[in-house]
């Protein structure tokens, strides 16, 4: 089928975080009086897409609405599980028992809850940096200290420093590691060998690991995703979190899968977790698993072309930028250190580009540690929008 990823959709007046919530998200309580509201701002920041949610998903929602009642809902029977596990078996060769599957209102909400169940007051959590900000936030909300293991940056290609990891888990009272697989913001797809090595370190030191795999289906055509729990099948303290919120642009439905192997933690979750599910979220996600693969492939192909355009643009127009096409995600991690120093920029990257380019992106300040000089650009937008945004970024820098 043909899908129109070039369609420009007006998201104003929909209570969209992407459009209407950027000031609070990016700048918190700091003064933003120097930022004027502007409908012409190009938005390439928060990790949702400007592509239409696919019709197979929207149709499932419409059919559910036709049932006329949206009462308290949960996931009963095996239909949802069968759709999900069929997807993971076909795409990753990964299966799990139905009783290990539980749900949360988004992966971040699940992380916050899990950290509270796993860690005690004096425990610490390990995160790999640069890191997606909510990993640290989940620890902060539970009053758990974080320890950083900086990834090694080889000109935009990142690797795990296993010696540093071993040293820290052996000496820092680390109870838990929160790990992005694939990695956000760098876009690394970790190999089975890397996951096995990291998993064995965790196992040898009795460290829990939560694997955030939300971006696993958004990857370049030559890449394959390996679930962490598949790479290290003999360690039940690995927790897997997955969702179709990114891949099918349904993040607002707030519905995520959590696979808990450990019987004690699973009992704790089932005892203490409170919540029913959104009836529209369940049918939308199930439809994505059952009917969405064709659309997903087309969307990934479109992203491949967007990334190729971006790489060519940076090479020609901003040659001192350091960038490598990520193996996964729709997020470009670009090192602008040269231009930041040349222009002597002393404010946040996000504010600089809004004021001087009319483009909303996320700067190093939105990420945890080891991110200096970088911006993250969301290129899951129509190509003409991306081209216009890139030209504006260039004009602000040179």
Q: At a CB cut-off of 8 Å and minimum separation 6, what does 183 contact?
A: 128, 151, 158, 190, 328
State in Å, rounded, how far the first CA of the chain is from the last one. Answer: 42
Residue 131 CA: distances (Å) to CA of 24, 321, 379: 20, 21, 19
Listed by start position, the domains of the chain span: 17-55+292-397, 69-290
pLDDT for the residue 275: 85
Nearest to 377 by CA among 325, 301, 338, 302: 325
Cis check: omega of the bond before 182, within 30 degrees of 0: yes
Class of domain 69-290 as given by CATH? alpha beta
pLDDT for the residue 38: 76
pLDDT for the residue 5: 98
For the domain bounded by 17-55+292-397, which CATH number is listed?
Answer: 3.90.1150.10
Q: What is the pTM of this model?
A: 0.97
Residue 139 CA: distances (Å) to CA of 102, 104, 112, 145: 21, 17, 7, 7
Q: How far apart are CA 248 and CA 241, in angstroms?
A: 16
Going residue by residue through the chain (398 aa), what tens digit of pLDDT does each one get? 899 999 999 999 999 999 999 999 999 988 898 898 777 899 999 999 999 999 999 999 999 999 999 999 999 999 999 999 999 999 999 999 999 999 999 999 999 999 999 999 999 999 999 999 999 999 999 999 999 999 999 999 999 999 999 999 999 999 999 999 999 999 999 999 999 999 999 999 999 999 999 999 999 999 999 999 999 999 999 999 999 999 999 999 999 999 999 999 999 999 999 989 999 999 999 999 999 999 999 999 999 999 999 999 999 999 999 999 999 999 999 999 999 999 999 899 999 999 999 999 999 999 999 999 999 999 999 999 999 999 999 999 99
Tokens 């967007």 label which residue? 306
Q: How far apart are CA 372 and CA 349, in angstroms?
A: 10
pLDDT for the residue 377: 98
Give 15-18 contacts, CB < 8 A, sequence gap 24+: 17/46, 17/48, 18/43, 18/45, 18/46, 18/48, 18/50
């Amino acid at each position: 089928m043909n899908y129109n990823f070039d369609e420009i959709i007006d998201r104003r007046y929909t209570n969209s975080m992407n459009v209407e919530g950027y000031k609070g998200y990016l700048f918190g309580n700091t003064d933003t009086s120097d930022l004027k509201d502007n409908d012409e701002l190009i938005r390439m920041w928060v990790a949702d897409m400007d592509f239409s949610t696919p019709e197979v998903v929207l149709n499932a929602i419409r059919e559910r609405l036709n049932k006329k009642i949206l009462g308290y809902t949960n996931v009963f029977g095996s239909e949802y599980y069968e759709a999900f596990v069929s997807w993971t078996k076909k795409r990753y060769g990964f299966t799990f028992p139905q009783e290990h599957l539980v749900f949360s209102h988004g992966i971040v909400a699940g992380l916050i809850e899990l950290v509270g169940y796993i860690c005690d007051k004096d425990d610490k959590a390990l995160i790999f940096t640069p890191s997606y900000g909510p990993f640290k936030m989940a620890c902060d909300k539970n009053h758990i200290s974080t320890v950083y293991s900086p990834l090694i940056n080889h000109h935009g290609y990142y690797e795990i420093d296993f010696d540093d990891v071993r040293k820290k888990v052996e000496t820092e009272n680390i109870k838990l590691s929160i790990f992005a697989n694939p990695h956000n913001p760098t876009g690394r797809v970790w190999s089975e060998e890397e996951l096995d090595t990291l998993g064995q370190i965790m196992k040898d030191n009795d460290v829990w690991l939560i694997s955030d795999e939300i971006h696993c289906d958004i990857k370049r055509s030559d890449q394959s995703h390996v679930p962490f729990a598949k790479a290290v099948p003999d360690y039940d303290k690995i927790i897997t979190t997955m969702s179709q919120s990114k891949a099918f642009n349904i993040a607002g439905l707030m519905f995520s899968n959590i696979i808990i192997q450990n019987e004690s933690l699973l009992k704790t979750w089932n005892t203490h977790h409170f919540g029913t599910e959104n009836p529209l979220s369940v049918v939308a996600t199930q439809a994505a698993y059952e009917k969405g693969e064709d659309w997903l492939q087309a969307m990934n192909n479109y992203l491949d072309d967007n990334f190729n355009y971006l790489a060519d643009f940076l090479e020609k127009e901003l040659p001192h930028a350091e960038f490598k096409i990520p193996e996964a995600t729709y997020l470009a991690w670009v090192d602008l250190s040269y231009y930041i120093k040349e222009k002597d920029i002393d404010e946040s990257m996000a504010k600089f580009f809004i004021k001087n380019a009319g483009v909303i992106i996320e700067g190093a300040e939105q990420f945890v540690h080891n991110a200096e000089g970088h911006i993250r650009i969301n290129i899951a937008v129509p190509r003409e929008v991306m081209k216009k945004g890139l030209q504006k970024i260039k004009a602000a820098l040179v």
